[in-house]
Amino acid sequence: MVAPLRIGLAGVGTVGAAVMRLIESQRALLKARTGRGIEVVAVCARKARKKRDVDISRVRFLADPLALATDRGIDVFVELMGGEGDPARAAVAAALAAGRPVVTANKALIARHGTALAATAETNGVALNFEAAVGGAIPIVKTLREGMAGSSYARVYGILNGTCNYILTRMQEEGLSFADCLKDAQRLGYAEANPAFDVDGHDTAQKLAILASIAFGTRVNPDAVYVEGISSIAPQDLDAAAQLGYRIKLLGVAVRTAKGIEQRVHPTMVPRESAIAQVMGVTNAVTIDAEGIERITLVGPGAGGAATAAAVVADIGDIARGLRVAPFGRPTAKLAASRKAPMQRHEGGYYIRLAAVDRPGTFAAIARHLAAQGISLESIVQHRAGERAHGGEDPRSPAAPAPVILITYATTEDAVRRALQAIQRQGVVAGRPQLIRIERD
């Protein structure tokens, strides 16, 4: 009879407790599917005596994560503490160096130190599994790394942060401001008291860096990702997008180009009929473009105890079966360097919102500066001064700047930026232009 797989669990918060409950409730099913029993035998947490959603009195308690990681009484170290530095980093590195497989849900750790940790895992012949680090219950890591191992990827992009998608959904459906939606997201627990990491795009950037590494064979590097958040998005942008047949989403996009692998996070206009445009609320989604295959979109809960626990336990199940693959899909020695692609080289369509000053020659000047940069327009939407983009009268003076929406054909970011700078210098627009990239199918 095969002995049960003994789990040492570091971190017994929301996710850790959910992992313990799932292993216990699905004990027979896990054994049938993996061929051996799985049981948590030891845990580590900041406090032994604390009210929790799970009873830890029946397992060994260790106060030190490093001691748990190197404990000879466990077969697998599961890290659910979080944070890119110690103690998580030291504990995971120690477990791998001791020849012990590791499962983690720690996106920050994998994004910052994943390549080095993967090398340690390979040297010692053990698994480093991190499905739960990206997309919660969506099996995107396994899909890219194993399920589609014979495919060559052209583009991987998606909604990787539920907080931002919730805010944009509420703004779109109810016409609320960003600030009002953010307050509501905080009240409901979807956003932290300090929401900057989510709404400024950094959470999405860490997850994208991991996916780009697997898809394109690069060393994982969050500093190689261009990042913009959603705080500049206004209701009139969402209204204009709807009129033009688009929706606005915060996307993480990794794409193979002639200049290398481009990794970027920013608000994006996507066609309203596309699969990813239908993803609303706190849900996540990832779309895969692979050569010779119809586009694939995976949709599901991207956060929460149950969703994350499902991914963690799936990774544990792979170890119980004896499965082990290179953490990033190929040996770390064959991963290419990942450099930040200058956004001025990005090519695509753009949405531009200007507040045009009400005076003769304004539109001629705008058109002249766009033409000087070789920018062609697909559509122009102009509203009267004092009229909201979504209809109705604004109480401002009739002489107020008039909203003008421009949609460009494919051009470069550098050309768009130069044109807008020239337009602003000439004084024919008020305020700062709004610029949103378009991701077409």
Confirm if 18 and 308 have CB atoms less than 8 A apart: yes
> How far apart, in whole angstroms, are the C-alpha atoms of residue 238 and residue 32?
49
**Phi and psi for 283 in degrees, rounded to 5?**
-70, 150
Look at residues 305, 329, 323 and name the one whose alpha carbon lies nearest to residue 136: 305
Buried b / exposed e across 347-363, counting CB within 10 Å, b at 16+?
ebbbbbbbbbbeeeebe
DSSP H helices in 56-194: 65-69, 88-97, 107-123, 140-142, 162-174, 178-187
Q: Count the neighbouring beta carbons within 10 Å of the beta carbon of residue 35.
A: 12
Buried b / exposed e across 161-189, counting CB within 10 Å, b at 16+?
bbbbbbbbbbbbeeebebeebbebbeeee
DSSP H helices in 35-106: 65-69, 88-97
Sort 78 into a burial class: Cβ within 10 Å, 0-12 / 13-18 / 19+: buried
* Distances 122 to 95, 117, 127, 334, 368 between C-alpha atoms, Å: 13, 9, 8, 12, 58
For the CA atoms of 36, 40, 42, 43, the dihedral, rounded to the nearest 10 degrees, stands at 140
Q: Which long-range contacts (CB under 8 A, 24 or more apart) does 28-32 make?
A: 30/313, 30/317, 30/320
What one-letter code names the amino acid at 243?
Q
CB neighbour list of residue 238: distance below 8 Å, 6 or more residues apart: 168, 171, 172, 247, 248
Catalytic option among 207, 249, 259, 334: 207
Q: Is 207 a catalytic residue?
A: yes
Q: Compute CA 111 distance to the chain's CA centroid, rounded to the nearest angstrom.
A: 11
What DSSP state is assigned to residue 392?
S
Q: In what order do the strands lie in the sheet with 5-10?
A: 60-62, 38-44, 5-10, 76-79, 102-104, 128-129
> How far apart, in whole angstroms, are the C-alpha atoms of residue 37 and residue 24?
10
Q: Count the neighbouring beta carbons within 10 Å of the beta carbon of residue 52.
A: 16
Question: Cα angle vertex 322, ends 317, 325, to 5°?
Answer: 90
Q: Which residues are catalytic?
A: 207
